[in-house]
Homo-oligomer: A and B are copies of this chain.
Amino acid sequence: MGNFKGHALPGSFFLISGLWWAGKYSLWYATRRNKSAGAGRLTTRATQRRVEIFEGAVMVSFSVIGMLAEQFVPDGPKLRLYDYTEQHWDRLMNWQHATMYLFFCLAGITILIVHSTDSAPFGLDRFLLGIAFFNEGFLFLYHLHGRDMLDVHVHQLLLYATFGGALTCMLEVFHRGNILLELLRGTLSLLQGSWFWQIGFVLYPPSGQLWDLKNHNNMMFITMCYCWHLAFALLTVAVVYSTVICVVRSRLRRMPPMEMGLLKPREREGESEDEIL
């Protein structure tokens, strides 16, 4: 996938999932905080489960599509790992990308199992997601041997976002329901997504004017550019968060207050998922 589209595609996935996470967790946080005002009615536990299962299903289907695409594109390996006639490994790049998708697929399956049955321990979904991010970073880490300085550098910067995402997920296993960690995950996912696009623009510029991959000034600019992407991701999450908070509040104001006796059992349901662990 050494082309512009090959970086824009995963970039878009990560951008969407970052936005999705920022919105989802903001909504749930607003619900939890305004429970006394009747916000429990907005997202019950049953709704939350359905949303999680939907998220898991989407993640599984996209990863399966990704794996199949990597294998069966015209110049893909078509499940052949070793070329016996020429005695070398066949299209390792595609295999590596398929392996990355494989772990996100496992993470998606785990989300499905955790939220549709009661058998799996809580926190397993975050754990597997953390492993998927770690695995992505791990493969990129040993991916860069012998490339140009700037090429190596832009991929190394990506590692901050992937390993940061993995660390965030692992912390979430122990501090489940912490809104800051959840938004941080959204932020790092957005950062990763927009950086994939940036890598595409740097290494395969659509304008056709190539960057000098050995220029020290380009390195310094790219580093700073990464910080701007981070600032942009932080701002996006902040905008999503405050929009959600405002919408929830204005809705609650318009809703007629319920009687306390009716409200209580539903509230409990709404919060129990985060407190079972």
Q: Does A230 contact B (CB under 8 A)?
A: yes
Contacts known (A127-B180, A231-B102, A242-B119); A224 close to B96, Cβ less than 8 A: yes
Count contacts on A: residues with CB < 8 A to the other chain. 46
Question: Which residues of the partner chain B approach A230 to less than 8 Å between Cβ atoms?
Answer: 131, 135
Q: Does A263 contact B (CB under 8 A)?
A: no
Which B residue sits closest to A122, measured CB to CB?
Answer: B180
Question: Which residues of the partner chain B approach A139 to less than 8 Å between Cβ atoms?
Answer: 223-224, 227
Number of copies of this chain in the oligomer?
Answer: 4
A interface, by DSSP: helix, strand, loop or mixed?
A: helix
Q: Which residues of A contact B (CB under 8 A)?
A: 29, 88-89, 92, 95-96, 99, 102-103, 106, 119, 121, 123-124, 127-128, 131, 135, 138-139, 142-143, 145-146, 160, 173-175, 179-180, 184, 216-221, 223-224, 227-228, 230-231, 234, 242, 245
A145 touches B219 (CB 8 A): yes
Q: How far is the CA of A142 from the CA of B220 in the complex (A)?
A: 7
Q: How far is the CA of A123 from the CA of B183 in the complex (A)?
A: 12
B216 touches A146 (CB 8 A): yes
Which B residue sits closest to A128, measured CB to CB?
Answer: B234
B217 touches A92 (CB 8 A): yes
Question: Which residues of the partner chain B approach A146 to less than 8 Å between Cβ atoms?
Answer: 216
Q: How far is the CA of A119 from the CA of B249 in the complex (A)?
A: 10
Q: How far is the CA of A168 from the CA of B191 in the complex (A)?
A: 23
Q: Chain B's nearest CB lies how many Å from the CB of A119?
A: 5
